Amino acid sequence: MIPDNIVYHNNVKTSEVLIYIGRKKHDLLEKKLQFLISAFLDLSGSVDIYYEYHFGIIGVDETMTIGEIALC
């Protein structure tokens, strides 16, 4: 339903899932994500969605480009 996304599971906070979409946020995309989250993820956990910009991962140079990372 949403090609080229990346889903991360937090190994420290095991109830947390991070999703990188890689495109701009819009209504249809949000509706698809909400359906997928409600259908396939445990309701007790938290989900953080990153649309256009990836979050930085220390040690992974591709995710640490200034101007292209999400600031939380």
SS3 28: helix
How is residue 59 written in tokens?
Answer: 């040690």
- Closest to 1 in 3D by CA, of 47, 45, 37: 37
- Closest to 1 in 3D by CA, of 22, 29, 26, 39: 29
- Closest to 2 in 3D by CA, of 15, 19, 21: 21
pLDDT tens series, the chain, 72 aa: 888 888 888 888 888 888 889 899 999 999 999 998 888 877 677 888 888 877 777 777 666 666 655 555
